[in-house]
Amino acid sequence: MIFVLTIGNRIKHKNTFNLSTIIVLKNEVKNEIIRLFEHHFQEKVETFSMLPPSGSYREYCRLENSKRSVIGAFNADVKENTAFLSFTSHFRKKGLPVPDIFAVSSDLNKYLLEDLGNVTLFDFLSETRETEGFSETIVAEYRKVLKVLPKIQIAGGKDLDYSVCYPREAFDKQSMMWDLNYFKYYFLKLAKIPFDEQALEDDFQAFSDYLLSAPSDYFLYRDFQSRNVMLKDGGVHFIDYQGGRRGALQYDLASLLYDGKADIPQEIRTQLFKFYIEELKNFIPVNESEFTSYFNGFVLIRIMQAMGAYGFRGFYEKKEHFLKSIPFAINNLQNLLPELNFPVEIPELVNVLQLLTQSESLKEIGQVSSNLSVRITSFSYKKGIPSDPSGNGGGFVFDCRALNNPGRYAEFKPLTGRDLKVQQFIEQNSEMKLFLKPVETLVAQSVKNYLERGFSHLSVNFGCTGGQHRSVYAAEKLAAWLRNNFPVNVVLVHREQQF
């Protein structure tokens, strides 16, 4: 049962402290949240702490005593709260793993909900990745999430009151144009990427019309990403779905698999995509070819929406956390662009996206974990060894030409070392793993030394005959290994592929 208590104003600051020291918050707000807890549970609050800020304007706190821990929430947007509360009630009736709501204030600005702990899926993968890489341990958690996602989309969407959706009832034409223009004005313009405004607008219209032709009578979570999945007691739980609306299945899957800073390796994305398809077949028939085409389209619009947010929060509001996500979004675009195959022409949009992936300043922006940048380049020996743009000269050059060449086989000629089929061939039919072991040892020795001495640049180059398969694979693997093992900024360039 939800207990309703009349309480008032807004929390203004974000800090962590215990109950006796929360004087920096407005006392009436502090007392209102505490009274909501004490009236509902008939117990005293012993500690009160603010939770770290998120990307939204909502405020969260934790209220505790010896018997229980509860999350308090404040949000001045009543319509958004109404959506969250309504969806939560509906989802819990459907048996979906979302937090219980204990009490709500009569002004609908504040509520108490179940404490699902502190470990998000993103926290888990970040910690695990440091010691294991993107291991099967992480993949297993993603599979748990993807088993539940179709239930949220299909069972959760059945009989849902979509009239409470905010700000739109469906991910419709207007919603899509909001996202696309968000990307244009808050990312492209602020990042100073040139474009033909009319041509880009025409492509936005054609692209959104294509996406709207996808089946869309499902619940669209809208922000289905690793920070909105909580891990507790061996299970997965879901939060922050207040922006949900009616929409296509592909959007939420795209949001999860192309979640920027989660940085899921492309081959793992492919595995998880196939896993989701098989789970989805338990609910509805699936035309895999059609589903995949739409999926790539929704991946693209999701990446652009995220980049709009990064631009607004990072370039405009000067919040560094969002700038750090830009290189991951750029990398996602690099993976996606070769896969685009839509029945509509969007030449100006594709041109703009290619310009983004070629921008070295965007690749480096926000990467401030250390002063050392490691530039990793794949290249063709036919076109010469790459120069070092840092001006330092030197660096490593590794020759991959002794390894078995996928380019000799017709089925691999149009592909690159970033494609799963090529990667599988290299791993099964060459000594690449043996080749990379001493490379890692040598590069690690220099990285450790450069970090200690405060150096700012190191270059590593992988060459092969065409700069397409072996060198690209080796550069990708070393980049992922460095990101997982050292606090360095990695700039990855495939010279002959133009990204």
Mean pLDDT of the chain: 89
Token output for 190: 């602020």
For residues 358 and 375, state if they share a domain: no
For residues 337 and 198, state if they share a domain: yes
For residues 303 and 193, state if they share a domain: yes
Q: Which of 428, 430, 460 is nearest to 444 (CA)?
A: 460
Residue 453 pLDDT:
85
Q: What is the CATH number of the domain that holds 103?
A: 3.30.200
Domain that holds residue 172: 121-362
Contact call for residues 454 and 448 (beta carbons, < 8 A): no
Residue 404 pLDDT:
96
Residue 316 pLDDT:
87
Q: Which of 310, 398, 307, 365 is nearest to 489 (CA)?
A: 365
Q: What is the pLDDT of residues 341-361, one digit of tens each?
A: 899 999 999 999 999 998 877
Q: What is the pLDDT of residues 396-448, one digit of tens each?
A: 999 999 999 999 999 999 999 988 889 889 989 999 999 999 999 999 999 99
Contacts 24+ apart (CB under 8 A), 400-405: 400/435, 400/462, 400/463, 400/464, 400/470, 400/471, 400/474, 401/463, 401/464, 401/465, 401/470, 402/435, 403/430, 403/431, 403/432, 403/435, 403/464, 403/470, 404/429, 404/430, 405/464, 405/465, 405/469, 405/470
- Using pLDDT thresholds of 50, 70 and 90, give the confidence band for residue 27: low
Q: How far apart are CA 50 and CA 346, in angstroms?
A: 46
For residues 208 and 337, state if they share a domain: yes
What is the residue type of 260?
A: G
Q: Which of 254, 327, 348, 246 is nearest to 292 (CA)?
A: 254
CB-count burial class (<10 Å; 0-12, 13-18, 19+) for 99? buried
For residues 298 and 436, state if they share a domain: no
For residues 168 and 289, state if they share a domain: yes
Q: Higher pLDDT residue, 107 or 135?
A: 107
CB burial string 353-392: b at 16+ within 10 A, e below? beebbebeebbbbbbeebebbbbbbbbebeeeebebeeee
Contacts of 342 (CB under 8 A, 6+ apart): 207, 210, 293, 296, 297
Q: How far apart are CA 117 and CA 342, in angstroms?
A: 42
Residue 137 pLDDT:
94
For residues 175 and 261, state if they share a domain: yes
Q: What is the pLDDT of residues 44-79, one digit of tens each?
A: 999 888 787 666 678 899 999 999 999 999 999 999
For residues 212 and 269, state if they share a domain: yes
* Range with lowest mean pLDDT among 296-310, 369-383, 464-478: 369-383
What total number of domains does the chain contain?
A: 3
Q: Higher pLDDT residue, 127 or 384?
A: 384
Question: Measured on CA atoms in the order 378, 383, 384, 386, is the torsion positive or negative?
Answer: negative
Residue 184 pLDDT:
97
